[in-house]
Structure 1
């Protein structure tokens, strides 16, 4: 049986914010050293002072993801875990629920995505992508994130949910404030409670729209969620607010970051760009999957061990915290040949960019893929010379691979 591995023994401190400020190449090299030994890797979370287990290999992340009865999401998948009063006031996000509550909520949400709604979303993605490229040609902005990458998923989600145009800018500002703590290093002073106040204001707005839709339903997702009748179940005000917050923070942030990383990857790998342009129909799907694998927009989620358990020969005790490092799993040499290489023809490509399977596999994976395929096709067809002009300006974070800005030209 293998002896427990500790990251500190290899000079690697995953719990130190300074580690997440290192250049990306240094962090990837550190995770490669940790993958040399099988099984979980111990480290101390500086934010909480708790000992944790890092899952850095593809097999271990997958195993934990597919054993929800052993690896619980309920206590909270981020660090620090949400306080009880926060969850009581704002409701529980789906990512912080276990079955049967998670299955119940996911079933209601899944039933709301009717074929008619999905067809409308597909048309919205095409229309918004075309509009954004029109605006690029007319206004010639210099930051790809604000002009394109963040705009597409936000507009799609607002349209899908049925958020009135007049309220969208205000909600976007509140979303940015609510999501700001994800970075371990931030510019400017932190205002205590600002994120929670922004979240409260956003959820109150959505709750008011939900009440209107119950009285007068329209052809949008909010109407479907608040009038759904799945075994007598529909979303209440707090559940609706929590779901919308999840869509905005998870759906917008992850797609925005993947798109920004994708443009830069295609810029610094001109041979892959040329291959993609030579036959978009043949290679676009593979390019999207490889962008998600290589960039891995969500770095990690956490789980809590429910019962004493062994994983890859290492004993985990009930109550232990484990961290699923998707970015490391997506570069596991045991699964991916030349994992640091960006290769749009990679096949198979069993990346964990949308999670490791199981009940918490990303609900928006299909939407994110569709948004990326549609926008990249529009950009590369109409502006084939589009490219980044500098490396992405990243927000140092142990949670997400967030791009603050990306300079570009066409």
Structure 2
């Protein structure tokens, strides 16, 4: 098969192939006795590596997620890794840390998702959904990504954090720039242009929250920035740099990933009208299963990396300290050994042990509950107000080695 003959999932051009070809390639990789090794291509403005082993089976991903004694998040979970100087300028992200530092910071920042915070957000989220869908209805057919997904998730995260309205357009622009940079380009000039915009956006986001953190220490409010800026857990507090780094992670992950997931939801429910009818026949009974199936089927985050820190054997493959293992969530979520008819979109699927929120273990996504509520609230409002919503043209994907992103989604109703 041609798709297998020149198979190289480390290269950007592999991710430009049709989805069916990529799925076939990962199915072939899952059938191999051991994880396959891929050499690391040179990418502008990234740290070069010697390559990685592809964890493509569900069991591979679960083991690498749970076994922190062997598979470390440090120095970075993205592949390719950013240069070392990035951490010195922006601070280190929670997702790139291991215990005990990860334990300490997670204990503090988990306050952002405490029940009280989520309860406070619920009413605001409903109003944001109503406004976003009303704007779409007023605008008429258009791009769902721009008109609904990005604006809705931006406002939800900004409401949670306590970012004033006057800053939100800037926040959305900065997030868009960081997302564009995540779509790794093979063109050095394009990479440089995106890197400059990404740097400007990252500094803007970081400086905004550090400034707001200082204000909220003097005059706390009922929001996450106030809670984190004044948090004192066993005498431990977040520094300004730590607050800024967490904000970068939360803003991009809380706006970008749920936004793309909403676009995938609309796509899947349009392409599978029988599943949409089933969902709408009893929304409360089916929405939880629908959300899980959407994130399994779409796998919004494609991959994350782990660094081996102790000798180990992964499905017969010997690993030594320094080796890299990349977990492919899109492949694990289609593993035939775990999911019956994995290529079928079925909102009644159960059990559904997908790994779309980072798999089990200490690094399970803190914002998983928030993301699920965003989908639940927005989809209810969307199909209540616009039951005839459907695709006007195929989605326009963003070619990326990191996430399954949607650049544009033309819809009509």
Equivalent pair of 2:118/2:370 in contact (CA under 8 Å): no
State the shift of 1:186 in Å: 8.2
Residue of structure 1 in register with 2:304 after alignment: 301
Equivalent pair of 2:124/2:159 in contact (CA under 8 Å): yes
- Aligned partner of residue 193 in structure 1, secondary structure: helix
Moved more, 115-124 or 51-60: 115-124
How high is the TM-score relative to the length of structure 2? 0.94
Measured in 1, the distance between the counterparts of 2:375 and 2:186 equals: 28
Residue of structure 1 in register with 2:34 after alignment: 39
Residue of structure 2 in register with 1:84 after alignment: 84
State the shift of 1:83 in Å: 2.5
Equivalent pair of 2:34/2:315 in contact (CA under 8 Å): yes
Residue of structure 2 in register with 1:22 after alignment: 17
Distance 1:404 1:102, change over 3 A: same
State the shift of 1:38 in Å: 3.7
State the shift of 1:193 in Å: 2.8
Distance 1:9 1:374, change over 3 A: closer
How high is the TM-score relative to the length of structure 1? 0.95
Find out whether 1:60 has 2:60 as its counterpart. yes
Distance 1:373 1:26, change over 3 A: same
Find out whether 1:149 has 2:149 as its counterpart. yes
- Aligned partner of residue 142 in structure 2, secondary structure: coil
Equivalent pair of 1:39/1:60 in contact (CA under 8 Å): no
Equivalent pair of 1:39/1:57 in contact (CA under 8 Å): no
- Aligned partner of residue 31 in structure 2, secondary structure: coil
Find out whether 1:234 has 2:229 as its counterpart. no
Residue of structure 2 in register with 1:375 after alignment: 378
Residue of structure 1 in register with 2:45 after alignment: none
Distance 1:320 1:66, change over 3 A: same
Measured in 2, the distance between the counterparts of 1:353 and 1:224 equals: 28
Find out whether 1:252 has 2:255 as its counterpart. yes
State the shift of 1:9 in Å: 7.4
Measured in 2, the distance between the counterparts of 1:339 and 1:346 equals: 10
State the shift of 1:18 in Å: 1.0
Find out whether 1:223 has 2:226 as its counterpart. yes
C-alpha RMSD of the superposition: 1.7
Where structure 1 has 5 or more consecutive residues not aligned to the other structure, the ranges are 1-7
Equivalent pair of 1:42/1:53 in contact (CA under 8 Å): yes
Find out whether 1:389 has 2:392 as its counterpart. yes
Find out whether 1:279 has 2:282 as its counterpart. yes
Measured in 2, the distance between the counterparts of 1:182 and 1:124 equals: 30
After TM superposition, the structure 1 = structure 2 runs for residues 1-16 of structure 1, keeping only pairs within 5 Å, are 11-16=6-11
Residue of structure 2 in register with 1:3 after alignment: none
State the shift of 1:136 in Å: 1.8
Measured in 2, the distance between the counterparts of 1:242 and 1:129 equals: 28
Equivalent pair of 2:4/2:25 in contact (CA under 8 Å): no
Moved more, 71-80 or 59-68: 71-80
Residue of structure 1 in register with 2:291 after alignment: 288
State the shift of 1:203 in Å: 0.8
- Aligned partner of residue 35 in structure 1, secondary structure: helix
Distance 1:15 1:113, change over 3 A: closer
For residue 315 of structure 2, the aligned residue among 300, 312, 316 is: 312
State the shift of 1:261 in Å: 0.8
Equivalent pair of 2:141/2:410 in contact (CA under 8 Å): no
Measured in 2, the distance between the counterparts of 1:258 and 1:186 equals: 26
Equivalent pair of 2:310/2:320 in contact (CA under 8 Å): yes
State the shift of 1:272 in Å: 1.0
Q: What whole-Å deviation, never above 9, does each CA across 1:45-103 have from its counterpart, x for those lacking one?
A: 21335221000000010001001121011110112323232101211111111111111
Equivalent pair of 2:162/2:223 in contact (CA under 8 Å): yes
- Aligned partner of residue 342 in structure 1, secondary structure: coil
Measured in 2, the distance between the counterparts of 1:78 and 1:112 equals: 24
Q: How many residues align?
A: 404
For residue 206 of structure 2, the aligned residue among 188, 203, 207 is: 203
For residue 322 of structure 1, the aligned residue among 304, 325, 329 is: 325
Residue of structure 2 in register with 1:101 after alignment: 101
